[in-house]
Amino acid sequence: MSPSLVVERPPVTWRRLRPLLGSLVTIRTGSQIWCGTLLSSVRDSVWLVVDDADVLVHLDDIVAVQPEYSPS
């Protein structure tokens, strides 16, 4: 079962994102939307895989994070 956590400002912190590690998420910044698997959440950034590309997003840029539910 996927976590049912939506994290929105204020504040998006690495600790609040930890339950979503390994999950499909949508990360919204002021200028982009990323949909991928959240692999890491550290003090100042998150790392996710979108398709086959690694994406690093700084926490200060994140407006909201929401888990995505994929059909099983």
What is the rounded CA–CA span in Å between residue 29 and residue 62? 4
Question: Average of pLDDT values for 37-60?
Answer: 95
Would you say 63 and 30 are in contact if contact means Cβ atoms under 8 Å apart? yes
Question: Average of pLDDT values for 42-71?
Answer: 91
What is the rounded CA–CA span in Å between residue 72 and residue 67? 15
Q: Is residue 1 part of a domain?
A: no
Full residue range of the structural domain in which residue 29 is found = 7-67
Number of domains in the chain: 1
Q: Is residue 2 part of a domain?
A: no
pLDDT digits (tens, 9 = 90+) for 8-20: 656 788 888 999 9
The more confidently predicted of residues 4 and 52 is 52
pLDDT of residue 21: 95
CATH of the domain at 51: 2.30.30.100
Which of 68, 71, 67 shows the shortest CA–CA distance to 17?
Answer: 67
Mean pLDDT score of the chain: 87
pLDDT of residue 57: 96
Question: Average of pLDDT values for 34-61?
Answer: 95
